[in-house]
Amino acid sequence: MNNPETSSPETSSPIVPEANASEGSAAQAGAGETARASEPTESFKDIFSEYEQSHSRKREPGAQGREGTVIAVTTDAIVLDIGYKTEGVLPLTAFPADKPPKPGDKVQVTIKGRDPEGYYELTRGKVERPTDWASLEKAFAEKATIVGTVTGVVKGGLSVDIGVRAFMPASRSGTHDAAELEKLVEQEIRCRIIKIDVEDEDVVVDRRAIAEDEERAGKERRYSELKEGDRVQGEVRSLTDYGAFVDIGGADALLHVGEISWHRINKPSDVLSTGQQIEARIIKIDSDKRRIAISMKQLQPHPWDGVAEKYKAGERVHGTVTRLMDFGAFVEIEPGIEGLIHISEMSWGKRVRSAADVVKPGETVEAVILGVSPAERRISLGLKQALGDPWVGAEQKFAPGTVIEGPVTNIMKFGAFVQLVEGVEGMIHVSEISAEKRINHPQEVLRVGQVVKAQVLALDTEKRNIRLSMKQLVPTGLDEYIAEHKAGDVVTGRIVEVVAAQARVELGEGVSAMCRIPAEGGKKEDKTAGAVSPVPSSTSSKPDLSSLGSMLQARWKSGAPASEEKPEALRAGQIRKFRIAKLDAETKRIELELELA
């Protein structure tokens, strides 16, 4: 500032060529200028004049602005002919949404620089270049945008010509690495003065702030243009576990993982990738928080619209288990359509405590539709129904008398449950476990998982109950008696009870039989029919052990056959002879006829 030339308008920035020459950056003005700068006989004024002329040509387009002609309009940018060999690109957001330009329109633009593909980056309007320190101070005070030319890469940043030599820190250049800094050399840029010291001729500029302001202004403008229900196109900017952030033309929007597709998606990265172009619909705009929510699936038909016509109760379907809950498993039978298999519908036989005991996520299963409710968007499915009802044909498989074998599945105080086949269980009552001793609790002789044999006593298919017995398979005195006798054998037995026209006869310990009393008593018809008196209405409860002896004594004294005597009425306690009329080993039933002498 002590040099009087620095205060004159013609030489308002003599420090620029001097600084550039000292750093070897005068090569930008040509090799001839470098040679002249090194000759002491050449005046400083001539050198600076040449420098100004050469630089004024480079910055002329930016300083004065240019008129461009629209030659193409894309989804997010406008391509203009600005009179150079290479076209310029202007963001579409630079124009109102309701008044987009069309090919042939004239637009006033300023060159910002070049993009990686070599096209000129443009901005609307005209940006001036300061011409002296006063204008620089004014631009600093007003935080105005000015034009500068990057002259070289220096330690920590860039050297920029804004009429004087200025420094731009690398962190404020808007680039991320050294290679990007090199590309800015000789490029005309827009920047803002963030520090100025006239006495020390120290100026610091910021390019990043301009880009951030433009981005912020673009987003504000974009937010004001968007509304819920709009169909937009965007580029996936980043992915998270819960969704994807999408650039929809200058504004950021969140695509939640649940809004990507009607079918369930675990992670957005399974179907989306960074940089992918997508189409979506705006479903919510929060103006206060500047948040936009979008949906891809809203552009697709809702899968539940045709469910009532497509799926009917009783049909078989295949699906994939998507998730498990305490009460059941959800199965996707087509994209966006899930049905629920309740744990009660998973098995005919065993009691399912958790769905995870039967199915796993990702497993393909076959199920039967039990019910469809389109209004509630619910489909009830049955897994066990697809396996077939095991009770079908149970009357033939498990008829009374059938011997079965199976594991004990559950033990209760009153009895034990045995699995006959998958889905069919029978119950052995505690009284039917053993014939040898009294059992107070099934656990005394049985345990869960133990394989036992039992005989079917009764079956009720409507109630799905089967009664079993283990003791019926254990050999008893009755079994031995039946094995040693046959029909026609004459046996001796004691009448235990007389009821109506039948008498129950005890043939041995634990061996009982039934004897039919003839309709007419007191007359001898043949050898197979006994002459007995009609049964009295009431019989003595005390057994008459002397009956047989009295009969023999009477015959001895009179010499007459006993059959000629008036037959004695049958009553409990009598010991008589009987003939086995029928012996059924399978049902363990013995029928007798009274044997008459």
DSSP 374: T
User: Could you tell me which of 94, 84, 88 has the C-alpha nearest to residue 58?
Assistant: 84
Helix (H, G, I), strand (E, B) or coil at 272: coil
Q: Kindly tell me if the per-residue pLDDT of 337 is higher than 80.
A: yes
Read off the pLDDT of residues 427-463 as tens digits, 9 standing for 90 and up: 999 988 887 778 889 999 899 999 999 999 998 888 8
Q: Kindly tell me if the per-residue pLDDT of 295 is higher than 70.
A: yes
Summarize the confidence of residues 233-251 as an average pLDDT.
Answer: 90
Read off the pLDDT of residues 173-226 as tens digits, 9 standing for 90 and up: 888 788 888 888 888 888 899 999 888 888 999 998 888 887 777 777 777 778
pLDDT of residue 129: 67
pLDDT, mean over the chain: 78
List all residues 6 or more positions away from 28 whose beta carbon is below 8 Å from its beta carbon.
20, 54, 151, 152, 186
pLDDT of residue 244: 93
Summarize the confidence of residues 407-423 as an average pLDDT.
Answer: 89
Flag the least confident range among 34-48, 232-246, 387-401, 497-511: 34-48
pLDDT of residue 64: 46
pLDDT of residue 589: 85
Flag the least confident range among 108-112, 203-207, 337-341: 108-112
Q: Which of 41-45, 237-241, 471-475 has the highest mean pLDDT?
A: 237-241
Name the H helices within 143-248.
178-183, 208-225
Task: Tell me the C-alpha distance between 484 and 585, whole Å.
Answer: 11
The first and second tokens of residue 497, run together, are 């009870």
User: Could you tell me which of 370, 418, 420, 429 has the C-alpha nearest to residue 393?
Assistant: 420
Domains of the chain: 226-299 (2.40.50.140), 303-387 (2.40.50.140), 394-473 (2.40.50.140), 477-594 (2.40.50.140)
pLDDT of residue 23: 39
Name the H helices within 259-344.
307-310
Q: How confident is the model at residue 422 (pLDDT cuts 50, 70, 90)?
A: confident
Task: Tell me the C-alpha distance between 274 and 245, whole Å.
Answer: 9
